[in-house]
Structure 1
Amino acid sequence: MKKITQFFLVAVVMLFATASMAQSTIKGTIIDAEIKAPLPGANIIVKGTTNGVSSDFDGNFIIESDKTSGQIVISYVGYETVTLTFSGTTDLGKINLSTDNTLEEIVITGSGVIDLAEDRKTPIAVSTIKANEIREKAGNWDLPEILKSTPSVQNIKGGGFGDGQMFLRGFDQTNTAFMLNGQPINSPEDGRMFWSNWSGVLDVANAVQVQRGLGSSKLAISSVGGTVNIVTKTVDRKQGGFVQQMIGNDNYIKSTAYYSTGLMENGWAFSGMLGHWQGDGYVDYTDGQGQTYFLSFGYKPNENHLLNFLITGAPQWHAAAGSGSIQEFLDNGRRYNSWNFANVDSPNLLHGGRYPGGRNVYHKPVANLSWDFNINENSSLSTILYGSVGRGTFAQARTSGSNVTYARGSNNNHNWYGLVTNYENQISEHFNFNLGADIRLYNGIHFRSVNEFITVDAVNAFSNYNGGAYQLTNAFGGINPWNVTFNTNDDHGERFGYDYEEDINYYGVFGQLEYENNNFTAFFQGSVSSQSHVRTEYLNAQNEGVSEESEKVNNPGFNVKAGGAYTISELHKVFVNLGYYSRQPFHSDLFISDRNGNELIEPAVENQKITGIEAGYQLGGTAVSANLNVYYTIWDNRTLLDTNGEDQGDPAFRLFQTQGVKQIHSGVELEIFTRPSDNLKLNGFLSIGDWKFDGVGIQRTFDEAGNITDPETEVNLDGVEVGGAAQFTAGLFADYMFLPRFSVDGTWNIYNNLYSQGQTTVESPPIKLPNYNTMDIGLSYKMLLGENRQNSLQFRVNINNLFDEVYLESVSGNTPLSSNPTENWKGVNTSNTGRFGYGRTWNASLRYSF
């Protein structure tokens, strides 16, 4: 009996001791705040201990603690960290984790200038790609590739690194506005985008937002197709960083390191990124290499002020790919590059002793200083001052017989400065008012010089400005972009071919009034602007040694936009927007050519007239959400330019200018986002467009001296299809997490109704290209590390065009089918100039985040 009593006594003591050791049981369910679905694999740790568990596939967790009260820390890489208090046995219920890359969670400097859709309550047709998706899928691609699964977006990869193009609703990227942290980055001369200049931006991007059509921008920008806002890191909330190593097809390698102090107690923050990449290129003989850098200094002295200075650049060189007929590619393969020369003696040879036909060498850094000032609880002022001193050249091989003699540099330099400022005031409970200014000052410097001597020591030239014949004996730049930056050619006597400058100044003011009352919102935007152009000629000046300025051209412009939205219920919203732009012509539309002085095109090119109407429906839900948009855009009085003939003063040179051209683009876009199960995402999109020219244009033909050589002719374009981008696109995206932090995803894209580009008419219409589809897949695994498992090691693999689809990406020409079947390929005459899309490519990366 005594032993039994002792046994029970010991058992009771052990029971109470165990109870004292496990005094609390905490449970709950982790939910993704954005999609309202369980979040498996989240980490739950009792603060101050190493006691932790992970949430299961349903997001549930149970954790025991020997403390009667305390705190638990809930974290998941890519999401904000949440700290919650417990006391005894606690059921925390549903715990929402928000991604730390949502537009609401990131710190955006210049927030009043960066026109994001979330900042306006009246919806637009918009798609947002956030940091998680960007860093997983960017790989070794430029931005257009990341956006290809966005409705009405077409990506053209081009031949070499950074040579891609993007179409939005059928408009090329010269007519889509690209904004970096609120500042325009399209070329002021012709609207073009050079993705090689921005190759490091995706490494530090917090979000990229594609606003199709009218968009939410208050600036008077070139947004016929839409606006793409790139928002980079500036001031981070938290300390941390990453190092990443990537490899890819064709000997591609990229190393990147980033670190941020976060916003420190003294109000300062610093972020920096450095990277280096190099590779052979998918197309033969298109080697390239470069660096990327990003530096950001932020200061927040108090709650009312936030300042940030940012500078970023991507010095690089890459060889270009020559064009060819479709037949040449069929004979030589998709990697074929006609533009390279063998058997030359140069230290800068490519594979097997070959010199590239052309090589881009550029360094065009951009810097901005932003200031956000919260004046009071109802008003704020946001200002960005930016500038860029860019230097670059296209080094083209010049030959004599079979030898390359020298590389001729076509230099495109710029000095570019601007200011954007916006004042916002919450006038009353229902009205919000914005007023701002947009100033852009641009100086473009264009000339030819010797980039590199190869088998000769001098080049003969002729110039009126320099008094006749002379010799070029100095080379500038080579293939080092830093040499192009700091060893510039400022001597007019060492220039030839052409030598001129352009000054383009732009001044605009804009305003917006927004109304909100219960379920109804409305807005009105307007802007007016003035743009001036002056061209200064040096090489072809009429008087020796005297530069000549052109007549100053002034063009006023304006735009107005208005819209409204009605919230039917919590899940249903409808909206309609409309706008009209009177857009100034590009600088390149005003002058005859770059070789004949300051001759203005007469009659003068008038403003383009753009009318846009769009409507939409939004379905919000936890398991299924959707966006449906319809649009109708009229682009009237546009100018088409094309040239014929060779440079170097060939008398066969002709400039064809067609004025009064009208395009009508209409279509419907659908996006669907679903969550069929806790570990499966399934999204899709569909875009159906109808893009055609309308009516007739007036064509004039000029010779190199600016004289009209042929009578005006009417060009019938009525009903002609607009080429360049597929008018039907669709896609399906799936992401399946089959283990915590271990997922596989795939994207299937379809392209149809794609037409050729070039001079087309009713009598000579564009060619319809064969439809095609591509499949991309990816695999991700994320390992959590560190004492509190706050660090991670992520492995990612991307395979693009998994099934190695052979397809024509673009065609320039409209030669119809041949009667000889051997001269056709999939319904296209193989004598047309074209380019095939890339075959199967891949990249793999290892990223350590801390």
Structure 2
Amino acid sequence: MKLINKSILTVAITLSTASVYYAQQVQDTVTKSKDIDEVILRGVTDIAKDRKTPVAASTIKAAQLVERLGNQELPEILNTTPSVYATKSGGGFGDGGLTIRGFETRNIAVMVNGMPVNDMEGGAVYFSNWTGLADVTSTLQVQRGLGSSKLAIASVGGTVNFLTRSADMKKGGAIRLGVGNDGYLKTSFAYNTGKSDNGVSASFLMSRQAGGTYIENTDYESYAYFLAVGYEINKKHNLQFTITSAPQWHDQRTFAPTIQNYIKYNPDHDGDPYRKYNSDFGYYTDASGNRVPLANRSNYYSKPVMMLNWDWTMNEKSKLSTVLYMSNGRGGGTGELGKIGTKSITDASFLDTEGHFNYDAIFAANAAVNLNTAGAGSTIVRRSNINSHNWYGILANFQHKINDNWNVSVGTDDRYYYGYHYQVLTDLYGAAGYKDNANKNIATPRIVNTLYDYKNLSWNPFGGKLAPAQDQVGYSNDGEVLWYSGFAQVEYTKDKLSAFLQGSVSNQGYQRIDNYVVDGSTLKGQTVNTKTGFKNLFGYNVKGGANYNINENHNVFANLGYYSKQPFLNTVYPSNQQLVNPTLTNEKISSAEVGYGFRSAKFNANVNVYRTQWKDRWLRKTSQTFTLPDNTTTTGYAEINGITEVHQGVEFDGVYKPFNFLEIQGMFSWGDYYYKGNASVAAFDDNNNPLTLAGSGGSELYLDKVKVGGSSNNSIPQMTASLGLTVKPVKDLNIFGTWRYVGKLYSTVDVGSFTNIAAQDRGVLQLPDFNLFDVGFSYKIRLKNEAQYFTIGANVYNLFDKIYISDSATSIFGTDKITATNDPDKGKTYEEAGRMYNGVATANRAYFGFGTTWAATLSFNF
């Protein structure tokens, strides 16, 4: 959630005046101030300070976000940071993915003003809920590895911290207009009142953006609003209230098509993949005979965040910061539900010649179903999986300066979360309704036909209505989470040495509530009820580090830490059932890092070496294809436990400024991420029935030494590099360009492929390396009044229209044999059949990166 306070503004100003540029950690040399505002780790924001905080960090300022983000996904601004890989994933608005040092967002602490925003049930971060941050962020910092946060959060891969604008910013405003490819249009207005004589201040922003992305049928509409009101009661007490949200809907592409289909459905039929291809929508014919697009997969959400911050400066040495916050998120994602006979929505008879859904055929088939005599689930409809929540919390942090060298801080972070998960209908696709029998508390199947429009955005900051039980289908379960934690930190600073030691403890209680379970029923020989009762799990972490400034040019640092991390809700209650995991255990993460920094008038650089080991990891992988002992296949999901991963590597970033008009930014990272030892797996079909797999019998995954890939539709690179130039030929004109390289890119681990020990030798599919080039400029037109000026700018991304695979959902090799029964090439390998693209078997499901895209902006500051 978002914490706005006066101390954050101080940090933001300190950082903005430092010599940082485009995700490189380049700040002023260490200051000798011993004021409490200059301690190593500040308040709850915990922003790393150059040559003080012993962590690897990179910083981006608001001006760089405005200048270079354009119509990219919010995490993509971090792609020139070492060991960071951000992609557009399926390509829908806000659907981008992010990894740091090979760890996905579930294990990256994403924070807003020091407050964690990762989902409390599963750790996920949906950037479509946070698109408004691009407009209100004053500073964005990435801390790789353990990070400097004092909270009891498991930042396994790193920490991404957004610092937003403050209520007491300087008086003034800005109007912005942005345009870009595929109908992108963004408008925004912001105004700051400045602080009045009586200590009151306010800051306001409102924006709207709409259009489509590069992918077919990915229209969207998104709003963002931000209001901060501050009141400085006196020199000791400061209050600030903040509310922000970004309600949005967007049509998606969530299924990664096969490379073969990208090529097959290219309208130019030139053998190249049609990168815009989206198999998650189709067309129907309206009453006027027009061909109208209709999305099957869409997402909509509104997550308003409200917080009240109280800063109390007790005396010159002590300070207490307290934050109360609330977030009531409402929304979900759509997709198909049901079958007509044995036909699902992807049946060949329901597809047109362009690879899209033929809704006319689906509507006709649905209309022919007699719901009075048909069984449950006998029509194909569009449902929405609701994932709403109520979230409340309090965070308090007390800081005390013992003397010029020692500082201590203690605090607590307490949260309550209640998540609502159920299905409602959003389109009947021509059917009279949908017959549902999932609720075991209702004896007779019922016909449901109440629809919910996903484009009807919720603006209610207090949550809005939830669907009544009679409108719910498929499933209805809730997750309740209680979180209590305490933390303490000791810091030491003297002359050239800075050091800290931090520890935290936490109790996380999970309860699963299944509204469709009958109290007292039997499951696997055990009695289960609607409510499981709370399962409490204790966790802790300890970490420390030190930085030593050898002289004004050189510094070295080291840090190490250990986490005992509680697993997520679906680990505690696996298989979507009411039974506690009998093998439940905390995940163990140990990490160590050393670094070196060099600072001079023209050249600044950092080098880091790190190693992280993650034991007893539990992972659920969805959308899996399994081979059964009789050599048939089925789809479902897998639950894997006992995973051990090792992530180690080297990072470099630097900035060289040979002349005042020229700046060169560079980055390189090399990683070695692999599984250590084997793991055990349990496989289930789409109806939660357990499966026995071919190979090991389904009990063991042979992963030892296999490279770490993504967990779903994403891939993980183990080598990245970038080189950027910024030229300032005349005052107020910036011209910039960036080259970026991605290599050692590994696909997701396909569970069904690793039940045989032979799979260890070949490992995970490695995708082709790629190089990308981006260019842009910005020019400021100043008016007579220095506070008033226009800024124009433009960016072109993927300048040379490079065709590349950014993510892959499967690991099919060219030497694998084609097994489909009706395939004319059955028995041949993909290489023998000539079914390869750029060295990759065309049966692989993948996402291609966007082709050339562009965005331009015009703004007026006053």
Class of the TM-score when normalised by the shorter of the 2 chains: 0.7 to 0.9
Shift of 1:236: 3.2
Shift of 1:547: 7.1
Give me the whole-angstrom Cα distance separating, in 2, the residues matched to 1:343 and 1:151. 47
Shift of 1:451: 2.2
SS in 2 for 1:612: strand
Q: Partner of 1:328 in structure 2?
A: 261
1:517 and 2:499 matched? no
Q: Which residues in structure 2 correspond to 1:31-70 (within 5 Å)?
A: 34-35=18-19
Shift of 1:424: 0.5
Tell me, yes or no, if the aligned pair for 2:656 and 2:664 is still in contact at 8 Å.
yes
SS in 2 for 1:121: coil
The structure-2 alpha-carbon separation of the partners of 1:469 and 1:847, relative to structure 1 and needing over 3 Å to count, comes to same
Q: Pick the aligned partner of 2:393 from 418, 424, 439.
A: 418
SS in 2 for 1:208: strand
Give me the whole-angstrom Cα distance separating, in 2, the residues matched to 1:385 and 1:643. 36
Q: Partner of 1:60 in structure 2?
A: none
Shift of 1:543: 6.9
Tell me, yes or no, if the aligned pair for 1:344 and 1:403 is still in contact at 8 Å.
no
Give me the whole-angstrom Cα distance separating, in 1, the residues matched to 2:667 and 2:211. 33
SS in 2 for 1:235: coil
Tell me, yes or no, if the aligned pair for 1:317 and 1:481 is still in contact at 8 Å.
yes
Q: Pick the aligned partner of 1:473 from 422, 445, 449.
A: 449
Specify which structure has the bigger relative contact order, considering alpha-carbon pairs within 8 angstroms and separated by 6 or more residues: 2
Tell me, yes or no, if the aligned pair for 2:682 and 2:690 is still in contact at 8 Å.
no
SS in 2 for 1:338: coil
Listed as ranges, the gaps of 5+ residues in structure 2 are 1-15, 22-26, 30-34, 267-273, 341-349, 351-360, 364-379, 522-527, 626-632, 710-714, 815-829
Give me the whole-angstrom Cα distance separating, in 1, the residues matched to 2:135 and 2:606. 29
Give me the whole-angstrom Cα distance separating, in 2, the residues matched to 1:625 and 1:524. 28
Give me the whole-angstrom Cα distance separating, in 2, the residues matched to 1:270 and 1:805. 46
Q: Pick the aligned partner of 1:532 from 509, 515, 522.
A: 509
1:610 and 2:608 matched? no
Shift of 1:450: 1.3
The structure-2 alpha-carbon separation of the partners of 1:632 and 1:591, relative to structure 1 and needing over 3 Å to count, comes to same
The worse-fitting range, judged by mean Cα deviation, of 146-155 and 702-711 is: 702-711
Give me the whole-angstrom Cα distance separating, in 1, the residues matched to 2:844 and 2:429. 34
Letter of the structure 1 residue corresponding to residue 69 of structure 2: A
Letter of the structure 1 residue corresponding to residue 331 of structure 2: G
Q: Which residues in structure 2 correspond to 1:321-720 (within 5 Å)?
A: 321=253, 322-331=255-264, 332=266, 333-343=274-284, 345=286, 352-397=291-336, 402-404=361-363, 406-462=381-437, 463-482=439-458, 488-542=465-519, 548-594=530-576, 597-601=577-581, 603-643=582-622, 655-702=637-684, 713-720=699-706
1:824 and 2:827 matched? no
Q: Pick the aligned partner of 2:857 from 820, 845, 848.
A: 845
The structure-2 alpha-carbon separation of the partners of 1:480 and 1:640, relative to structure 1 and needing over 3 Å to count, comes to same
SS in 2 for 1:236: coil
> Identity rate of aligned residues, in percent?
36
CA displacement 1:466-486 (0-9 Å, x = unmatched)? 333112132224422228987
Tell me, yes or no, if the aligned pair for 2:419 and 2:478 is still in contact at 8 Å.
yes
Tell me, yes or no, if the aligned pair for 1:599 and 1:706 is still in contact at 8 Å.
no
CA displacement 1:668-710 (0-9 Å, x = unmatched)? 1111111110111111011011111111112234565676867
Q: Partner of 1:733 in structure 2?
A: 724
Tell me, yes or no, if the aligned pair for 1:728 and 1:752 is still in contact at 8 Å.
yes
What TM-score does the superposition give when structure 2 sets the normalisation length?
Answer: 0.82
CA displacement 1:556-592 (0-9 Å, x = unmatched)? 0000001112111111111110000000001122223
Shift of 1:487: 6.7
Tell me, yes or no, if the aligned pair for 2:170 and 2:193 is still in contact at 8 Å.
yes
Letter of the structure 2 residue corresponding to residue 238 of structure 1: K
Tell me, yes or no, if the aligned pair for 1:798 and 1:842 is still in contact at 8 Å.
yes
Letter of the structure 2 residue corresponding to residue 838 of structure 1: F
Tell me, yes or no, if the aligned pair for 1:476 and 1:487 is still in contact at 8 Å.
no
Tell me, yes or no, if the aligned pair for 2:249 and 2:454 is still in contact at 8 Å.
no
Tell me, yes or no, if the aligned pair for 1:815 and 1:829 is still in contact at 8 Å.
yes
Shift of 1:620: 1.3
1:196 and 2:128 matched? yes
Tell me, yes or no, if the aligned pair for 1:362 and 1:484 is still in contact at 8 Å.
no
1:779 and 2:777 matched? yes
Give me the whole-angstrom Cα distance separating, in 2, the residues matched to 1:487 and 1:97. 47
**Which has the higher Rg, Structure 1 or Structure 2?**
1
The structure-2 alpha-carbon separation of the partners of 1:34 and 1:532, relative to structure 1 and needing over 3 Å to count, comes to closer
Q: Which residues in structure 2 correspond to 1:32-431 (within 5 Å)?
A: 34-35=18-19, 112-118=43-49, 121-158=52-89, 159-321=91-253, 322-331=255-264, 332=266, 333-343=274-284, 345=286, 352-397=291-336, 402-404=361-363, 406-431=381-406
Give me the whole-angstrom Cα distance separating, in 2, the residues matched to 1:213 and 1:296. 32
SS in 2 for 1:219: coil
The structure-2 alpha-carbon separation of the partners of 1:308 and 1:806, relative to structure 1 and needing over 3 Å to count, comes to same
Shift of 1:422: 0.8
Give me the whole-angstrom Cα distance separating, in 2, the residues matched to 1:33 and 1:184. 26
SS in 1 for 2:260: helix
SS in 1 for 2:218: coil
Shift of 1:786: 3.8
Tell me, yes or no, if the aligned pair for 2:624 and 2:750 is still in contact at 8 Å.
no
Shift of 1:604: 3.0
Tell me, yes or no, if the aligned pair for 1:445 and 1:502 is still in contact at 8 Å.
yes
Give me the whole-angstrom Cα distance separating, in 1, the residues matched to 2:301 and 2:235. 40
Listed as ranges, the gaps of 5+ residues in structure 1 are 1-31, 38-95, 99-103
Tell me, yes or no, if the aligned pair for 1:361 and 1:484 is still in contact at 8 Å.
no
Tell me, yes or no, if the aligned pair for 1:464 and 1:542 is still in contact at 8 Å.
no
Tell me, yes or no, if the aligned pair for 2:305 and 2:326 is still in contact at 8 Å.
yes
Letter of the structure 1 residue corresponding to residue 126 of structure 2: F
Tell me, yes or no, if the aligned pair for 1:368 and 1:384 is still in contact at 8 Å.
yes
Shift of 1:193: 1.0
Q: Partner of 2:629 in structure 1?
A: none
Shift of 1:407: 2.5
Give me the whole-angstrom Cα distance separating, in 2, the residues matched to 1:490 and 1:509. 37
Give me the whole-angstrom Cα distance separating, in 1, the residues matched to 2:192 and 2:233. 18
Tell me, yes or no, if the aligned pair for 1:498 and 1:540 is still in contact at 8 Å.
no
What TM-score does the superposition give when structure 1 sets the normalisation length?
Answer: 0.83
Q: Partner of 1:742 in structure 2?
A: 733
Tell me, yes or no, if the aligned pair for 1:35 and 1:623 is still in contact at 8 Å.
no
Give me the whole-angstrom Cα distance separating, in 2, the residues matched to 1:826 and 1:660. 35
Paired residues, number: 742
Tell me, yes or no, if the aligned pair for 1:157 and 1:164 is still in contact at 8 Å.
yes
Give me the whole-angstrom Cα distance separating, in 2, the residues matched to 1:484 and 1:326. 43
Tell me, yes or no, if the aligned pair for 2:54 and 2:499 is still in contact at 8 Å.
no
Shift of 1:365: 1.2
